[in-house]
Amino acid sequence: MIELWNGLLKAIELIVTLDPEVMEIAGRSLRISVTSALLASVICVPLASLIHFHQFRGKRFLINLIQTLYSVPTVAIGLFVFLFISRAGPLGGLGLLFTPAAIVIGQMVLVTPILLGLVISALRGVDITLIDTARSLGASVFQTSLVVLREARFAVMAAVIMAFGRAISEVGISLMIGGNIRGYTRVITTAISLETSKGDLELSIALGIILISIALVVNIALNRIQQR
Amino acid sequence: MALIETINMGQRRDVRDILRNINLRIEKGEVFALIGPTGAGKTTLLRLLNLLDVPTSGKIRFDGVDTSAPAGVRLELQRRMAFVLQKPVVFNASVYDNVACGLKWRRIDGGEVKEKVNHILEVVGLADYRHRNARTLSGGEVQRVALARALVVEPEVLLLDEPSANLDPLSASRIEQLVSDLIQRYATTTIMATHDLAQGQRLADRIGVLMNGELLQIGSARDVFALPHSKEVAEFVGVENIIDGVITSNEDRIVTIESHGRSIEAISDYMAGEEVCACIRPEDVTLALARVSSSARNSYEGEITWLVSMGPLTRVEIQCGFSLVATVTKRSAEEMGLNRGKKVYATFKATGVHVIKRN
Amino acid sequence: MRKLTACLLIMLVLVLTAGIFACSQPAPAPAPAPAPAPAPASGPQYPLHDPLVRFKIATTTSLYDTGLWYHLEPIFEELANVEMDIVYAGTGIALEYGRRGDVDAIIVHDRAREDEFIAEGYGINRRNFAYNFFLIAGPSNDPAGITGLTAAEAFQKIYDEGMNDPDTVKFVSRGDDSGTHAKEKLIWGEVGFDYEDVRNSGEWYVEAGKGMGPTLLMANEMQAYVLADISTFLAYNLKTGLKIESLVEKDPIFLNVYAAIAINPETHPKAKIEIANQFINWLISQEVQEIIDTYGTAEYGSSLFYPIATCDIPGCPPEEDYTKPVP
């Protein structure tokens, strides 16, 4: 118990004094996960619109598949991406393994089902009369989808924020394809798992506090948006 | 050439035929009212005319162009029309943005957009609401936004689905007045769907009666209301007296109809032996306490079975061999001291009887 | 609209914060008391190199958990003007990374598998650069009574007592195909067991599946016996105060020799062979050997690793394996 308390005090000291190592790791986590959430959104929001607005055979099945993929374990994704980007794999020539870019790619794969699924739900939530209204006023199919996206903008933003939350709290992908390299690919979650297993509590606790604070901010943002 | 023409158009959904055999010609500049009970298929028809849906059979021609054309052509045709839906929805944006969107989609440049939008907002009386979020408006105001939104694009054809149906009477009459003014002002070809016959009568040049997916009658307001072609139409347009009988003689177009032991005189071309219905509008029936000698040939003694006040009028049901419904002014009813059980004489002219074939 | 602005602001704040963090220098690992590795306090500061060239190595966990790499990394980066990426991996995983060409050099300690690796064409220019010894640690009260025995005898006793009373006598294995794990299997072989039989024999045998440091901590928690290298053991003892003691030390079979191998550019053309060669030569150079000789002396009284040249018991590698520089 005393050990825990000491750890907590030292952790707070690390945070308050803006300890460079802690800040560096936290900053990297944020950069990587914000990037993956935003990049994935740029791809998934239009893709989700395409899926939503078009009828095709197997659409029902596709949406079910997307929802099933919400809960793929991160280590499974980590392994899958690892096999692709390892030098021995098909994309090996790019030399991506053990780089922050690799983690971004892995996290993008992770959040894609969530983004697709939630954006499609968001679009579904828009009154169908709106689509008729837009079309009856002369909007083309593309213009109509923009209208629907605008109407659903808050739900779409909530999806992006949720994707970010998922990305920043995962450890399986960062560990497997980032390598937890100090000063390069070490992020909050991998640092915590490394330091804890080595018995160093202060750094773990400090990083844990930061991660929880980020999660809190994300949650508050989400709540305010969803009230719209 | 008609502006819009439908040829044997039908719409089938699952196993039901929502519309059957629709043959309609709308001329440029006319105001056409589509009346019918709820569920008759009016909205479906309007949607087909606006090219929102594709008919499962038959075709539509807009300005001579067959509308089963590729999407680009359809979009162009669609942009020449505007549709105000039943219970219109507004976008989560300002009133200005709502009204401007049709113009923006047609890629009209900014300055012109501003001018047109501000003008139409003045016309419908929403100029002060320009920057308010449209979702905060009342029902009547939303309807006005929807009208402004549709008219600002200067459509060749305006389609209205129950323009005043969901409003309180005051707002409804205001909207109706506005619609009437706008139609006159812009001389737009208008197709309006309504279940309110009187409204159709007030606003339209021609009326089409849609019942159960079929266009039962198309004609001028007078034709439809006074001279319904069939029993269903007659019932719908408020001819409350539809009396079954048989023609016993026809002399110079003056026929005698036997019904329930009484004779009714009417004007018709049908020959003796024909099974018919005599249709008399309740307002064409006059009541008196004593037998009146007048030019009206049809006069019957009967007893009041039911009496109900309807605003400024009183509706009276009389049993005189057959059932008869008359509407008189409330004042008259009071002056005559009408009440249940009272003996009265109901009279109507031969010319007030519209004879239709019983099928 | 207000709420939309608020949310955009929050996202902006997040991105800005990330940017601010990004600008701060990465920290030198040693310094104040809560240090992740017990390196000598007078280590050089860790400067941030422009990462034009990234040199990746996969290292055995025992070397990493003692903090030796934290110490050596900045020196080599300065010298070769590269950015060194050190990936933590047991010998088994390190060899796999080497086979796949995901790293430029590997540091391992299992002679048999190293030779296989090189024979298969994946590695070249193998050199030994340090050694130490294993030991068997266990609870102070030594319930299995192995103090003073040889390695093989101790293992036999642990097996017998463990089968007898699994609640009191336990053994924690690395269980991760590492060099240490390989040594453990070797000792079981000496006793006459088939490793698979030992593995499945009972609850007394625990497979950690972790690196050396974390395995020690697990053995500590469970008050179990464990095979560990002396350096990691001493380092963790100092850092976290282990409640297990070294019980069996002197046995030739405990010799643990570390090797560095460069990845063969003929198999993986993208492997940075020049830097790998420079690295290996640097490891066997006088300068690094002296560092190894003295690393940890201040804290532990004796150094954690020994320069390879001082190896003088049977099983030590021949001189050419550590003196001849690579071409």
A205 Cβ contact partners less than 8 Å away, ≥ 6 residues apart:
A7, A8, A10, A11
- CB interface of C with A, residues 131-160, below 8 Å: none
Judged by CB atoms closer than 8 Å, whether chains meet at C27 and A19 is answered as yes
- Closest residue in A to C6 (Cα–Cα): A221
Provide Rg for chain A, Cα atoms. Answer: 21
Q: Which domain holds residue A87?
A: 2-226
Query: Between A129, A141, A150, which is nearest B89 by CB?
Result: A129
Judged by CB atoms closer than 8 Å, whether chains meet at C236 and A221 is answered as no
Every domain of chain C with CATH number 3.40.190.10 lies at: 54-132+256-323, 133-254
Distance between CA atoms of residues B225 and C270, nearest Å: 91
The domain that holds A188 is classified in CATH as: 1.10.3720.10
Is A20 in CB contact (< 8 Å) with chain B? no
In the sheet that B16-26 helps form, which strands lie side by side, from edge to edge?
Answer: B16-26, B4-13, B57-62, B65-66
Query: Between A136, A143, A147, which is nearest B91 by CB?
Result: A147
Distance between CA atoms of residues C9 and A15, nearest Å: 24
Topology of the domain comprising C133-254:
D-Maltodextrin-Binding Protein; domain 2 (3.40.190)
Judged by CB atoms closer than 8 Å, whether chains meet at A30 and C239 is answered as no
Output the CA–CA distances (angstroms, integers) from residue B106 to B100, B145, B336, C157, in the order listed: 10, 19, 64, 89
- CB interface of A with B, residues 103-142, below 8 Å: 127, 129-130, 132-141
Query: Between A89, A99, A181, which is nearest C86 by CB?
Result: A181
Domain tally, chain A: 1
- Closest residue in C to A161 (Cα–Cα): C11
Distance between CA atoms of residues A111 and A40, nearest Å: 7
CA distance A122 to chain B (A): 15
Q: What is the CATH number of domain C54-132+256-323?
A: 3.40.190.10
Q: Which of A96, A122, A121 is nearest to A109 (CA)?
A: A96
- How is residue B39 written in tokens? 């569920």
Task: Note whether A222 and A162 are within 8 A (CB).
Answer: yes
In this predicted model, what pLDDT tens digit does every residue of A185-219 receive, in sequence order? 999 999 888 877 777 777 788 888 888 888 888 88
Which residue is listed with tokens 């305010």? A224
**Residue A194: left (phi > 0), alpha (psi -120 to 50), or beta?**
alpha
Average pLDDT, chain B: 88
Helix, strand, coil % (nearest 5) of chain B? Answer: 30, 35, 30
Domains and CATH numbers, chain B: 4-233 (3.40.50.300), 239-357 (2.40.50.100)
- Closest residue in A to B146 (Cα–Cα): A133
In three-state secondary structure terms, C264 is coil
In this predicted model, what pLDDT tens digit does every residue of B291-316 receive, in sequence order? 877 777 788 889 999 999 888 999 99
Distance between CA atoms of residues A191 and A181, nearest Å: 9
**DSSP calls for C54-118:** EEEEEE-HHHHHTTHHHHHHHHHHHHHT-EEEEEE--HHHHHHHHHHT-SSEEEE--HHHHHHHH
Helices A153-168 & A201-226, crossing angle to 10 degrees? 170
Dihedral (C-alpha) B263, B269, B271, B274: value to the nearest 10 degrees?
Answer: -70
> Letter for the amino acid at B171?
S
Is C21 in CB contact (< 8 Å) with chain A? yes
b/e map A181-197, b = 16+ CB within 10 Å: bbbbbbbbbbbbbbbbb
Question: For residue C245, what is the DSSP state?
Answer: E
Angle CA(B59)–CA(B60)–CA(B65) in degrees, nearest 5? 115
CA A66 to chain centre: 16
Q: Which of C250, C184, C189, C190 is nearest to C212 (CA)?
A: C184
In this predicted model, what pLDDT tens digit does every residue of A12-66 receive, in sequence order? 888 888 888 888 898 999 999 999 999 999 999 989 988 988 888 889 999 999 9
Helices C179-191 & C91-100, crossing angle to 10 degrees? 120
Q: pLDDT per position in chain B (359 positions), as tens?
A: 778 888 888 888 888 888 888 898 998 889 999 998 888 889 999 999 998 888 888 889 888 888 888 888 888 888 999 999 888 899 988 999 999 998 988 888 888 899 999 998 988 888 898 899 988 998 888 988 998 999 898 888 999 999 888 788 888 888 888 888 888 888 889 999 998 888 888 888 899 999 888 888 899 888 888 788 888 888 888 888 888 889 998 888 888 988 888 888 998 888 888 888 888 888 889 898 888 777 777 888 899 999 998 889 999 999 988 889 999 999 988 898 888 988 999 998 888 888 888 76
ipTM over the 0.85 cut-off: no
- Closest residue in A to C220 (Cα–Cα): A199
